[in-house]
Amino acid sequence: MPIIYLGCWQKSRNACLNFLAPANVLRIYFEKAEKHMEEVIIIGSGCAGMGAAIYCARAGMSPLVLEGSQPGGLLTTTSDVENFPGFPEAVNGFDLVWRMREQAQKFGARIETAIIEKSDLSAPEKKLYSNDGREFCASKVIIATGSSPRMTGVPGEAELYGGKGVSACATCDGAFYRDKDVVVIGGGDTACEEAVFLTRFCKSVKIIHRRNEFRASKIMAERALSNPKIEAVWDSVAEEILKGDDGFCRGVKVKNVKTQAVSEIPCKGVFIAIGHVPNTAAFKGELEMDSEGYIKHLPDSLVKTNIENVYVAGDCSDKVFRQAITASAMGCMAGILASS
């Protein structure tokens, strides 16, 4: 008796269509297949996500890590990490997070690409929806979605971003500006670190900062200011990124906030380093957040959210420390709580 079996998983994973045609009977039925319920899903594959994955995996939970468009997170865009304990000679940011990933996988973490854009977290069965129509379910969720570079929003920035002279990552794009004059906008550790990194390639680096002293740590600020290729442009804000006739960046229009004087700084590259915004849009309306979109944690825990079995770790919640070590540690805490 011939049996034709055609089974296909729909994108959403939870609808299964089976055709069974034994001999003279054709039975077509739709079966709502049992949803695959993960014990724990970790969203994000940076230091926080991998910290959580290592702990959940070692606890035997076989965590599913969903990674977005930047596998390994923001640390992969950093050059030398000098302050992660255990690496006296510094460690490359990409190498560090990739080793965390290997460690998590060694203990059984599974990693899948999925950009989560919506969530439903209130019921015991937590649901996550990706931008390509997939649905993921889990009893426990650890949100470690990190943050993205903040942009200035001035005219010309968006138009010239990504290959035409505006970048938010010196490590990624610095080498394209060999022997060129470039500008860094910002005054924190990122701005100083990026400026110093850019001196490896560039002829000159000007740091445009809106105040007259850096927010950066003393060591980073001194390192930038003592570099002969770096010059600080104090009390100044960018008003426009200027496009040349060739369609690429030719300079920045800058206003001195004290004198109101406007001038132009000729340059081929502009690196934006004015902080970050948390990647939490998928959880708006589900979890308590502050006015800037950072996910709030309960007073008695750095990683418990207002919903039971939903935890948070790293830069999507922490706007104070924002270090690789603190993000990993929050991942560890979330992993221990999720697995207990």
- Contacts with ligand NDP by CB under 6 A lie at 83, 152, 186-191, 193, 210-211, 215, 237, 273-276, 322
CB 213 to ligand NDP: min, Å: 8
172 as an active site residue: the answer is yes
176, 133, 164: which is closest to 242 by C-alpha?
A: 164
- CB nearer to ligand NDP: give 210 or 255: 210
Please count the CA atoms within 13 angstroms of the CA of 335 that sit on its side-chain side. Answer: 31
Q: Which of 47, 56, 137, 173 is catalytic?
A: 173
- CB nearer to ligand NDP: give 42 or 81: 81
- CB nearer to ligand NDP: give 10 or 212: 212
Q: Which of 169, 181, 235, 332 is catalytic?
A: 169
- CB nearer to ligand NDP: give 137 or 312: 312
CB 277 to ligand NDP: min, Å: 10
173 as an active site residue: the answer is yes
169 as an active site residue: the answer is yes
Q: In what order do the strands lie in the sheet with 249-256?
A: 236-243, 249-256, 262-266
CB 15 to ligand NDP: min, Å: 44
CB 40 to ligand NDP: min, Å: 28
Our CA angle for 222, 238, 236, nearest 5°, is 50
CB 144 to ligand NDP: min, Å: 16
- What are the residue ranges of helices labelled H in the chain? 47-58, 93-106, 157-160, 170-173, 189-198, 218-225, 324-338
Rounded CA gap, 72 and 88, in Å? 22
Our CA angle for 66, 71, 73, nearest 5°, is 100
- CB nearer to ligand NDP: give 138 or 249: 249
Our CA angle for 116, 49, 300, nearest 5°, is 100
**3-state DSSP of 260-278:** CCEEEEECCEEEECCCEEE
The number of beta carbons lying within 10 Å of the beta carbon of residue 138 is 25
So which residues are the catalytic ones?
A: 169, 172-173
